[in-house]
Amino acid sequence: KTSELVNTDENGQYLRLESIDGLIRKAVALQDKYPVVVPLNKELNKGIHSVTVKFDKCNQGDHVCLFIGIAKQSHKIICPCKAWEKSNNANMIFYHGHDGWVKFRGDIIYGNAKFSDNQLITMELNMDNGTLHFIVDGVQQPVFVRGIKEKVKLYWEIYYQDSSFTVQSVKLLNAPTVKKLDNEKAIDW
């Protein structure tokens, strides 16, 4: 109920955060073509967490430039942040909306759906069994993360000027909603 977005932009030139119902739950990119990564202020090391967001103005023609993922709690996210660079990608895993792949430590696994503006994008992080699943508009995606045994934080990225995302819900679940899929593929944390 108190989870909010964290301001990674110390100078205020790349990111604006907005309050919704008294909590900082919306992030807006102020510059064009600078990757702005925004984490949630919640340290996650136990329980099952489900966070859903909706992106807006992230589509540019046929290209959506945004991603979601988790980072080691100890990893400092700066602004701008290129999660794909080696120094970050050793500490951050991400699911790219344009191609549907998941990347970590240089390894890429394809198989998830592409996602775009106005879709509900959910990450379900189960710290009890060390997994992260992605859900697009209610459909569980086959590529997931396993082997998470350390504190992590959820994050989202926006890239184009005036693009944004809004946290729709933050839930602590009693039981996972995800199921084993026949076509699932795991990427190891």
Q: Is the pLDDT of residue 1 over 70?
A: no
Query: Taking the domains of the chain in order of start, what are their residue ranges?
Result: 15-188
Burial call 4-20: b when 16+ CB within 10 Å, e when fewer: bbbbbbeeeebbebeee
Give the model confidence (pLDDT) of 145-158 as tens digits. Answer: 999 999 999 999 99
Q: What is the largest CA-CA distance in the chain?
A: 47
Class of domain 15-188: mainly beta
Q: Bridge partners of 134?
A: 123
* This prediction's pTM: 0.95
Give the model confidence (pLDDT) of 99-108 as tens digits. Answer: 999 999 989 9
Give the model confidence (pLDDT) of 155-180 as tens digits. Answer: 999 999 999 999 999 999 999 999 99
Q: Is the pLDDT of residue 62 over 80?
A: no
